[in-house]
Structures are given as structure tokens and as C-alpha cells.
């Protein structure tokens, strides 16, 4: 167990995300093989595995975003989860923070 915690956070995230991505592929193939006996309780792996894998790929770029922008993004996501109509404003603001907010 000590070996696991000596790895960097990005490496641990990569191992977990790759494992979840393989599990998602197996679940999709099992659903394609027999959709009548597919358990939808394990559907979170199909959604969360690729998302975590993309987060791992973008790790170096996401690490450059300042901490106060992460607080703004978290607040926007919280407000948009309460009032879904605000997604029309929240998505462009989050896109601006991610892509246009930083000077190169």
C-alpha cells in the first residue's frame, strides 16, 4: 500500500481512470451482447470512466488554472444544479474561464 501513495496524483488518477475506462468498455460490450439482462446500476461507470480519463489527459492544462477560478466554477456549477435554466449563462462563463481567461 505504501507503493500506491508514493506515486504522483496524476499517475494514480491515470491508473484509476484507465481501469474505469476498461470497465466501461466491458459494460458497453455486455449491454450490446444481451441488453435484456444489463444492470443499469453500473451505468455510472460508463459515464464516469471516460470523463475521468479525459480529466487525466488534460491534467497539465487544468493545473495551470488559478485556485480562485476553480471556486468560481464550483459556485457556477452549484447554482446551475439548483436552477437548470442558468446553464445558458453558466456554460459560456465556464468556457471563458477555461479558454479565454488566461493570458498566454
Residue extents of the structural domains in the chain: 1-62, 65-104
Contact (Cβ atoms closer than 8 angstroms) between residue 61 and residue 29 = no
Q: Which three cell numbers stand for residue 61?
A: 492544462
Distance from C-alpha of 72 to C-alpha of 97, rounded to nearest angstrom: 9
Predicted local confidence at residue 102, as pLDDT: 63
Predicted local confidence at residue 63, as pLDDT: 86
pTM above 0.75, yes or no: no
Q: Which three cell numbers stand for residue 62?
A: 487544468
Name the stretches of the chain with pLDDT < 70. Answer: 1, 38-39, 101-104
List Cβ neighbours of 69 (8 Å cut-off, separation of 6 or more): 97, 101
In sign, the C-alpha dihedral spanning 94, 96, 102, 104 is positive
Placement of cell 446551475 in the chain? 80
Amino acid at each position: 500500500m505504501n507503493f500506491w501513495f508514493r506515486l504522483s496524483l496524476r499517475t494514480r488518477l491515470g491508473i484509476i481512470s484507465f481501469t474505469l475506462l476498461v470497465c466501461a468498455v466491458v459494460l458497453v460490450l455486455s449491454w450490446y451482447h444481451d441488453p435484456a439482462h444489463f444492470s443499469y446500476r453500473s451505468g455510472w461507470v460508463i459515464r464516469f470512466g471516460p470523463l475521468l480519463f479525459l480529466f487525466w489527459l488534460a491534467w497539465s492544462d487544468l493545473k495551470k488554472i488559478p485556485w480562485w477560478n476553480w471556486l468560481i466554477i464550483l459556485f457556477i456549477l452549484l447554482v446551475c444544479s439548483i436552477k437548470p435554466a442558468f446553464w445558458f449563462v453558466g456554460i459560456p462563463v465556464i468556457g471563458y474561464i477555461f479558454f479565454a481567461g488566461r493570458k498566454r
